[in-house]
A and B are shown apart, each in its own frame.
Chain A
Amino acid sequence: MNTVFKRTPVLKDCPTHYCPGCGHGIAHRLLAEVLDELDIQDRTIGIAPVGCAVLAYNYLDVDMVEVAHGRAPAVATGMKRTNPDKVIFSYQGDGDLAAIGTAEIIHAAHRAERITVIFINNAVFGMTGGQMAPTTMLGQVTATTQQGRNPSNGQGYPLQVSEILALLPGTVYVERCALNGVPGIRRTKAAMKHAFQLQLDDAPGLSLVEVLSPCPTYWRMSPAKAMKWIDEQMSQVFPIARLKG
């Protein structure tokens, strides 16, 4: 018998708590594959966010820390500056990175911290029950925008953090990908690998991969429809692009 697909060692052998069709599970798998392929399990330290991925250390078999909501880039700074030989990554949601942690990510980038950031944009606060995130689409119904997000109700516009970060001299690489089917998943993995490779090469700045990631539960859609929604809606506002580097 031929093995065509197997668990990658950095991904632990256990069921996850994620909802069916959730992008976090796919992103974890890709991340684990990348850490295995680069053979850096024994020198990597990961930072789990506050959000649905708070328990990422239950699935990723690398040294990990769980930190306060949004503060991962500051924690990563403390780690990388004192351990330049280690590979440091943060894994953050859009509430974590683009709302409460905006200052921390902007300034880690502005200081050109040599860290890697995996930024999971699912256009909602998943963990707290599907509230509006800064990245929520106009018209999108969430627990706190029940009539659909509407800027004239003071609810603001979708925030394109990656575009902002790409403008800063302190980032070496910013790419937006999407988990919206096989090509998108392959591209996301390649982007993650490149981001880590840059850190391994001691490239002089922060590398970030934004991942448009389905949250079927709070998008109130089937997993298949959620993938399509990324294609048809989300990527119109958050274009899939290599924004920098």
Chain B
Amino acid sequence: MCGNEALAEAAIVAGCDAYFGYPITPQNEITAYMSERMPQEGRVFVQSESELAAINMVFGAAATGKRAMTSSSSPGISLMQEGISYLAGAELPAVVVNVMRGGPGLGNIAPSQADYFQATRGGGHGDYRTIVLGPSSVQEMADCMPLAFDLADQYRMTVMVLADGILGQMMEPVVLDPKPRRELPPKPWALTGMKDRPQNIVRSLYLADGALEELNSRLMAKYQQIQDNEVLCEEYRVEDAEIVVVAYGIAARIARAAVDQARDEGICAGMIRPITLWPFPFEQIGAAAETFRMFLTVEMSCGQMVEDVKLAVAGKCPVLLHGRPGGGVPTIDEVLDKIRQLTIRAGAA
């Protein structure tokens, strides 16, 4: 199965009630797969007229308490930002998949990680956050879907899966094993028709003096809880490492191979791989920076996640970047070379 199809099937297994989407490369396999499989399961598939419409269809389904998702790639995700902001204001659960491609503008259809800022900072207006998951294999493309739906329902917010064109197209064996589910809260707020209860209203307009500030504070408290409890990251051969590569998604696959080869050459290299990009593993990276070593961020952009790595390291160690924008994919040799250069230089100093 390719990553896109694995993700789609995993969404079905995770109980996705409705999929809404508008075709865009490199995620077309998801839309095509869902168009076949969702009706077979008696669930909803709609090919929307735009990503604006798709995200608002998700909004509608989510407001009635259903599990809904959409998927797209970078330019389409830009169009969804209005909807994502409204989902945040209305506190509705939703899952949005971004199989990133090169940008800005129409960019290209090559794999990229250039939407990190947009995903983790929030591309829409207002004070809000989305949880962002960064899978790194076809298996993780599948595994992150039940988690995404659970997190969305638990915290009533958007969870974004941030993948890239390689992960989407890559074929690997995958086991669809729906993770043991979280204990999820009921949805008494859902719009189901006011049978035997008073009216429910789902909205994001708060005009009364101080009312929006109150909502904002409540959202921030929720986001803090997520930062405290939901960080996921993998530490790989970090313990004695003099150089720690930080990478996520497909870049982490490449970095891992480079770390292994460096070790074979006697260089003490390791890797920290954020799995949740928001909440970002500030603590884990900060702890690694307590011992003096070098940090090398490898990402397929001009350098976006590197800003979070710098925040985490807080000036305690040097943080360098190997970035390949515009659809460029770093090779193992490239990363290995960088590791060699940096460790030689550090050794000589």
User: Is chain B a partner of chain A in the same complex?
Assistant: yes
Does any Cβ of A come within 8 Å of B229's Cβ? Answer: no
Expressed in whole angstroms, the Cα–Cα distance for A106 and B50 within the complex equals 12
Stretch at the interface among B3-11, B111-119, B202-210, B308-316: B202-210
Contact A44 B193 (CB under 8 A): yes
Does any Cβ of A come within 8 Å of B44's Cβ? Answer: yes
Expressed in whole angstroms, the Cα–Cα distance for A44 and B64 within the complex equals 11
Does any Cβ of A come within 8 Å of B215's Cβ? Answer: no
Q: Which residue of B lies closest to A100 (CB)?
A: B52
Contact A104 B56 (CB under 8 A): yes
Q: A42-B193, A65-B191, A68-B86 are in contact. Are A77 and B203 (CB under 8 A)?
A: no
Of B58, B90, B200, B202, the residue contacting A78 (CB under 8 A) is B58
Of A64, A74, A77, A87, the residue contacting B201 (CB under 8 A) is A64
Interface residues of A in 54-109 (CB under 8 A from B): 54-55, 57, 61-68, 71, 74-83, 86-87, 103-104, 106-107
Contact A66 B203 (CB under 8 A): yes
Q: What 17 additional pairs, Cβ within 8 angstroms, besides A45-B191, A71-B59, A74-B57?
A: A41-B193, A45-B63, A45-B192, A65-B201, A66-B90, A71-B56, A74-B48, A74-B60, A75-B63, A77-B53, A78-B56, A78-B57, A78-B60, A78-B61, A79-B61, A104-B49, A104-B52
By secondary structure, the A interface counts as helix
Expressed in whole angstroms, the Cα–Cα distance for A44 and B191 within the complex equals 9
Contact A43 B44 (CB under 8 A): no
Does any Cβ of A come within 8 Å of B322's Cβ? Answer: no
Q: How many A-B residue pairs have CB under 8 A?
A: 136
The residues of A that contact B194 with a CB separation of less than 8 Å are: 41-42, 61-63
Interface size on B, residues (CB 8 A): 39
Expressed in whole angstroms, the Cα–Cα distance for A48 and B63 within the complex equals 13
Does any Cβ of A come within 8 Å of B83's Cβ? Answer: yes
Q: A75-B59, A78-B59 are in contact. Are A104 and B191 (CB under 8 A)?
A: no
Does any Cβ of B come within 8 Å of A194's Cβ? Answer: no
Contact A71 B83 (CB under 8 A): yes
* Distance to closest chain A CB from B310 (angstroms): 35
Contact A43 B53 (CB under 8 A): no
Q: A74-B56, A77-B57, A81-B18 are in contact. Are A63 and B199 (CB under 8 A)?
A: yes
Q: Which residue of A lies closest to B67 (CB)?
A: A82
Footprint of B on A, CB under 8 Å? 41-45, 47-48, 54-55, 57, 61-68, 71, 74-83, 86-87, 103-104, 106-107, 110-111
* Distance to closest chain A CB from B208 (angstroms): 12
* Distance to closest chain B CB from A34 (angstroms): 16
Q: Which residue of A lies closest to B61 (CB)?
A: A78
Does any Cβ of A come within 8 Å of B17's Cβ? Answer: yes
Q: A68-B83, A82-B66, A103-B50 are in contact. Are A63 and B56 (CB under 8 A)?
A: no
Contact A71 B53 (CB under 8 A): yes
Expressed in whole angstroms, the Cα–Cα distance for A61 and B200 within the complex equals 9
* Distance to closest chain B CB from A12 (angstroms): 9
Contact B86 A111 (CB under 8 A): no
Beta-carbon contacts of B180-194 to A below 8 Å, as 1s and 0s? 000000000001111
The residues of A that contact B83 with a CB separation of less than 8 Å are: 68, 71
Expressed in whole angstroms, the Cα–Cα distance for A79 and B64 within the complex equals 7
Of B52, B61, B203, the residue contacting A82 (CB under 8 A) is B61
The residues of A that contact B17 with a CB separation of less than 8 Å are: 82
* Distance to closest chain A CB from B192 (angstroms): 7
